[in-house]
Amino acid sequence: MFAPHPDDAELGAGGAIVKAISADFRVGIIDLTAGEMGSLGTKEIRLVEAEEARKVLGVELRQNLGFPDAFLPFEDKKEAALKITNKIREFKPKIVLIPYWEDRHPDHIATSFIVSKACHFAKLKKIELDHPKHKVKHKIFYELNGQSKYTFLMDISKEFQKKKEAIMSFKSQFKEFSMEYLPFPVEERCKYYGSMIKAEYAEAFYMKEPLVLKDWATLL
């Protein structure tokens, strides 16, 4: 999973991350920046908080690429994409979670573009990096500030409290779990999506490619 800043993974897909780990998936988070340009906290504090959140979620690996916060749209996109391509080839994920590209935050938009390109570059054998080519099976987009025309909703009723705990690991950013302090109404949105599938909480995800079903039994 790739996130623009520490706390974005938790805000957008914290419940889905916990659910994946519970199902014995190996999960890693790579943050592109340390969020050092935010009004609250420092680079050092946010990196410590990201490690605390990693432990709460149970994520095996979390790295930070150290790209400059607030300036992702102005980064050399080829260089940034190749650095991410190398990470994709190193860890060989079958699924990559990417921020949805319609968002008010320029860093979120830039991350979506750069990581999407990196997933494409990763499978091209003529792009020579430190690791052999690798094809990502699914690119799945998660919501932050913007909302998508989702492909599927994931029930995170059992995982929501862990998602909340992970978000609140970022003490420098969020004094309390409420709309006053969070960048968007996290609980309200999850409740809304949950109501659409008769669950308490859910998270929304979008795929550009068709979601393939092998047979009717997949739906049961």
Distance CA 53, CA 167 (A): 7
97 in helix, strand or coil?
strand
At the top level of CATH, the class of 2-219 is: alpha beta
What digits encode the pLDDT tens for the residues 112-165?
Answer: 999 999 999 999 999 999 999 999 999 999 999 999 889 999 999 999 999 999
Distance CA 180, CA 175 (A): 9
User: The tokens 């699914």 sit on which residue?
Assistant: 138
| 8 Å CB contact between 6 and 49 | yes
- Kindly report the pTM of this predicted structure: 0.94
The two most distant CA atoms of the chain are separated, in Å, by 51
- Pull the structure tokens for residue 90: 């190193």
What digits encode the pLDDT tens for the residues 16-64?
Answer: 999 999 999 999 999 999 999 888 889 999 999 999 999 999 999 999 9
> Residue ranges of the domains in the chain?
2-219
User: Residue 190 — very low, low, confident or very high, per pLDDT cuts 50/70/90?
Assistant: very high
What digits encode the pLDDT tens for the residues 58-87?
Answer: 999 999 999 999 888 887 788 999 999 999
